[in-house]
A = this chain, B = another copy of it.
């Protein structure tokens, strides 16, 4: 390894891994490290930038360079789909009492803040392709943001697209003032006679765009989980396309796949 900044990065990396500096600890300053390794400050900065991009360090102006402390993860399990479907057919009081995100996080409404906005749009090529629709099909676009009361940034941004034609039977569904709708999307679709048969979720990971990093308050060295979920009804139509963005450093997705039993041999 002939590059000075890689030697420095490698050395600092092993200091962290060996536990000689732990989460939250401060590293020596740029100038001190430059002195220690006999290199210029710029070279040390390059090493520190690499470790920051790896998610190992966190740099704070005026305070110093710290070993990043892992954030507590929010678990999202696909069990919630069945839970939500069962709930949608329960009494209105029961539906109003609980929400899907509360179910996931185990937290009450007083600890979480939701935000919903509705728009009417036309399907672009991407959405049309995903939903098996013609381009230009009128859609209801709903945007949801969920965050902890105590935190400034949402831990979840979701955009849902539903063909407007499907919602004709219940005009209330086009009005964002109905949110939070008791029983969620499953109950909303039930109100116009739609039953969901299955959810198909497409999971990808990538670095956040500049705008996404801003919206979600993602520090450098964090990945983004992007989930596109298709809700398919009992007539095999795509009745909802939901794109969800989740911070990679605080999300764990859990999927349980149940298998049919073997016949006795």
Please report A residues at the B interface, Cβ cutoff 8 Å: 9-10, 13, 53-55, 73, 78, 81-82, 85, 89, 195-210, 220-225, 234, 248-249, 251-262, 265
Contact residue among B13, B200, B223, B234 (Cβ-Cβ distance under 8 Å from A207): B223
Contact B257 A201 (CB under 8 A): yes
- A223-B205 contact, Cβ under 8 Å, with A54-B210, A85-B259, A259-B82: yes
Contact B13 A204 (CB under 8 A): no
Contact B82 A207 (CB under 8 A): no
Q: Which B residues lie within 8 Å of A260 (CB)? A: 82, 85
11 contacts between A and B (CB under 8 A): A10-B210, A82-B259, A195-B261, A197-B258, A201-B255, A203-B225, A203-B255, A204-B253, A205-B205, A207-B221, A255-B257
Contact B200 A251 (CB under 8 A): no
Contact A257 B78 (CB under 8 A): yes
- Nearest-CB distance from A228 to chain B (Å)? 9
Closest residue of chain B to A263 (Cβ to Cβ) is: B89
Q: Which B residues lie within 8 Å of A253 (CB)? A: 202-204
- A54-B207 contact, Cβ under 8 Å, with A85-B259, A201-B257, A259-B85: yes
Number of copies: 2
- Nearest-CB distance from A74 to chain B (Å)? 11
A233–B261 Cα distance when bound, in Å, is: 10
- Nearest-CB distance from A190 to chain B (Å)? 8
Q: Which B residues lie within 8 Å of A196 (CB)? A: 259
Closest residue of chain B to A9 (Cβ to Cβ) is: B210
Q: Which B residues lie within 8 Å of A205 (CB)? A: 205, 223-225, 248, 251
Contact A259 B199 (CB under 8 A): yes
Contact A209 B54 (CB under 8 A): yes
- A234-B254 contact, Cβ under 8 Å, with A206-B248, A207-B221: no
Contact A251 B204 (CB under 8 A): yes
Q: Which B residues lie within 8 Å of A199 (CB)? A: 256-257, 259
Contact A206 B258 (CB under 8 A): no
Closest residue of chain B to A203 (Cβ to Cβ) is: B253
Contact residue among B200, B208, B254 (Cβ-Cβ distance under 8 Å from A200): B254
- A223-B200 contact, Cβ under 8 Å, with A89-B262, A195-B262: no
